Amino acid sequence: MIRYALSCDHDHGFEAWFASSSDFDDQAGRGLIECPFCGSTVVRKQVMAPAVSGTKKTAPSPDAMARMQGMMMQAAREVRDHVERNFDYVGDAFAREARDIHEGRSEKREIYGEATPAEIKKLKDDGVPCAPLPSLPPDPKKAN
């Protein structure tokens, strides 16, 4: 496993783990790496000093990786649950409503909904704050 310090085109810094450097290159090239702060998929590696120690480091065990993944999925579920309980769902009118709230034409409130990538880019270009909700895998208990 390789840990990279990354940044997006808005200079938000974050870290991510990859199985190899080619995995990073492949995922970045396909736009699969997303900034957790703004959702940008224009991501690059930051300059990093290598971690040097006197002993060889081993990759996290499969159990440790599964625990980390479970904790991350739990955090994502909690974020989604909080938004769904406390924000107003506006469906596919999200971009219009977010802009109206930002420009003072609509009551200030927290909202969530759907928007196309082009709509999100236009909102961000215009300084309207918005961020993607974490996506979750399907609930196996609700599968056929």
The pLDDT of residue 115 is: 93
Q: How confident is the model at residue 94 (pLDDT cuts 50, 70, 90)?
A: very high
Sign of CA dihedral 47, 22, 70, 50: negative
**133 within domain boundaries:** no
| Distance (Å, whole) CA 95 – CA 50 | 42
For residue 84, what are the domain limits? 71-126
Indicate if 40 and 79 belong to the same structural domain.
no
| Distance (Å, whole) CA 67 – CA 134 | 18
Q: Tokens representing 17? A: 């783990």
**23 within domain boundaries:** yes
27-86 residue pLDDT tens:
999 989 988 888 889 999 987 766 555 556 667 788 888 888 888 888 888 999 999 999
Q: Quote the pTM value.
A: 0.54
**114 within domain boundaries:** yes
**131 within domain boundaries:** no
Q: How confident is the model at residue 2 (pLDDT cuts 50, 70, 90)?
A: confident
Helix (H) or strand (E) holding 8: strand 2-8
**54 within domain boundaries:** no
**58 within domain boundaries:** no
**91 within domain boundaries:** yes
Q: Mind giving me the DSSP string for 19-39?
A: SSHHHHHHHHHTT----TTT-
Count the alpha carbons within 13 Å of 82 in the hemisphere toward its beta carbon. Answer: 9
Indicate if 83 and 117 belong to the same structural domain.
yes
- Contact by Cβ (8 Å): 15, 23: no
Indicate if 79 and 122 belong to the same structural domain.
yes
Indicate if 41 and 75 belong to the same structural domain.
no
The length of the chain is 144
Torsion angle (degrees, nearest 10) of CA 96, 101, 104, 106: 80
Indicate if 83 and 122 belong to the same structural domain.
yes
The pLDDT of residue 105 is: 96
Q: Please count the structural domains in the chain.
A: 2
Q: Which of 30, 45, 60 is the last residue of a domain?
A: 45
**61 within domain boundaries:** no
